[in-house]
Amino acid sequence: MYGQPDAFFCLNSMCLEHEQCLSYSIRTEDDQTILHCAIFGEDFELAFKIIQMYKELVNHPDKKGHSPLHTLASKPSCLTSGIYHNLGGWDKIIYNLTIGQSSEYIENPERGSTHTSRTDDGHGFVPVTHATCLNLVKFIYKAVLITFGYGESRITKIREEKQKHLSAAHIVDELLIHSTMYDDEVVSAGQSETNEEENDKKGTETTKETAILIAARNGVSEIVERILQKFPVAIHDANHERKNVLLLAAENRHWEVYKLLLKRKVPRGLVFRKVDNQGNTALHYAAMLANKTKYFWPIPGDALQMQWEIKWYKFVERSMPPRFYLRPNKDCKTPEEIFSEAHVQLVKAGSKWLTTTSTACSVVATLIATVAYASTTTFPGGTDEKSGKPTLEKQPTFNLFMISSLVALCFSVTALIMFLTILTSRHQEKDFGTDLPKRLLLGLTSLSISIVAMLASFCSGHFFVLEDKLKYAAFLVYAVIFVPVSLFAAAQFPLYLDLVRATFWSPF
């Protein structure tokens, strides 16, 4: 339980017989085994040794009916799918470049087992002869990361996380090799459906929650994939509410598991038409609003959250049989009706945020348009009395002044129009899908360009005053002027990046 392998093997050596060791390996109050405890404590090296010594414990359930595989399925942070989408951009790069050590163990009667290590990058093996090149690559990328502000402790922590995930995946494979959980439960899909309907009418529980259902509920796609490879019949598992793998994945917004089921050759007629004991399909669950304390999309903000809710619903809808969106549940509600009812408050919150943002930005766009219009009609140095042409029109700086003023005027007016269309929009559910986010993105882009163009126009026009006296010092002054623009861009860049991701990228 406390991850002390030396004490464990010391006690193990005192047992005279295998059966005696087994009797000491099971806790009487809850029937949990030493394998349960090692996996729960995330000591996967010790867990592997226990599997090699006591294969009987792989299929031993506790009093809740949970095997060691159930325990691992309930710990999503132990595998990549449980934490990868919560990593930041740089953290993901470090995670993908990190090369872990997957341990292989050889049974040893005296010490339980010994182990050797192999270098694994998650995709294959690295030959021992390339160790020097490998260490050089690791040194270079570590030096680059430290240069960009990633300390050694942060890199080490990410490397340890990946090492843990590789070890946990190895334990899943070992558990499934010795697992017998479906040996006596191979039934036809038709019989399974009939038994579920009969048990539902009697008010009894059809089946206990199996490991694949726990993994689907927690989004551990690695365990779901491996179980389906070893036991294809597991696709028909359902809990006491008659929720199968697909329904649990849709209910908990685990799109990795959902996409995995779409890719596999599963009996779609049975799996995707499945309903729970309330008549809800996967599309009904996709229409429901997830609890934010339990799950949320990786894009912040109410408006962008609404956009992703629409994307998720449309993705599930495309995977369903034709006209499945019209099917009501036992409350006589279709998925579309549930979606509208569940997202009323989110639509209001998103509309309020868009209105506030557009109002503030439209004021700035109006001011810039006013200044830019005045600049395009007022020439530095005046005009020639005879020809009416600007006196400085042959100066390169004058051309920069006129072009930047025109750019500032055009883009400020464009930004103003985009923000006004957002303010006058009806803010319906479908508008949050693509229309409103694209308008906001175009408005912010135009506003940023107009600000830069306005400052360029000011600097080029002001340069005529300082050209003779402070010609070189003027460049330093103008560089300082652009500091506020840089600060504004840095402050708005996260929002701008989120808008681009939410509008043009989708994981579905």
What's the pLDDT tens digit per position in 410-464?
A: 999 999 999 999 999 888 888 888 889 899 999 999 998 998 888 888 777 666 6
Look at residue 222 and tell me whether its pLDDT is greater than 90. Answer: yes
Question: Does residue 379 share a domain with residue 304?
Answer: no
User: Tokens representing 99?
Assistant: 């090369």
d(CA 425, CA 440): 12
Look at residue 214 and tell me whether its pLDDT is greater than 90. Answer: yes
> Is 349 part of any domain?
no
User: Tokens representing 331?
Assistant: 């409350």
d(CA 245, CA 368): 55
Question: Does residue 435 share a domain with residue 402?
Answer: yes
- pLDDT single digits (tens) 96-138: 776 655 444 434 434 444 444 444 444 344 454 556 666 666 6
**pLDDT interval class at 506 (50, 70, 90):** confident
Asked whether the beta carbons of 189 and 235 are under 8 A apart, the reply is no
d(CA 108, CA 201): 54
Among 129, 152, 178, the domain boundary falls at 178
Question: Does residue 336 share a domain with residue 197?
Answer: yes
User: Tokens representing 202?
Assistant: 């009697």
Residues 6+ apart with CB under 8 A from 437: 303, 304, 307, 499, 502, 503
Among 342, 368, 386, the domain boundary falls at 342
Ranges of H-type helices in 231-320 = 245-251, 255-263, 268-271, 282-287, 302-319
Among 178, 201, 235, the domain boundary falls at 178
* pTM over cut 0.85: no
**Structure-model confidence comparison of residues 309 and 383, the more confident one:** 309
Q: Positive or negative CA dihedral for 482, 488, 493, 494?
A: positive
**Which residues partner with 197 through β-bridges?**
none
108 membership: H or E segment, kind and range: strand 100-108
Domain extent at residue 485: 354-504
Question: Does residue 321 share a domain with residue 366?
Answer: no
Residue by residue, DSSP assigns 114-161 as: EEEEEEE-SSSB--GGGHHHHHHHHHHHHHHHHHTT--HHHHHHHHHH
- pLDDT single digits (tens) 290-345: 765 455 566 777 888 888 889 999 999 998 888 888 889 999 999 999 999 999 99
Question: Does residue 30 share a domain with residue 111?
Answer: yes
Residue by residue, DSSP assigns 331-346 as: TS--HHHHHHHHTHHH
**Structure-model confidence comparison of residues 233 and 142, the more confident one:** 233
Total domains in the fold of the chain: 3
Question: Does residue 130 share a domain with residue 30?
Answer: yes
Question: Does residue 168 share a domain with residue 222?
Answer: no
pLDDT for res 124: 41
pLDDT for res 480: 74
Three-class SS state of 390: strand
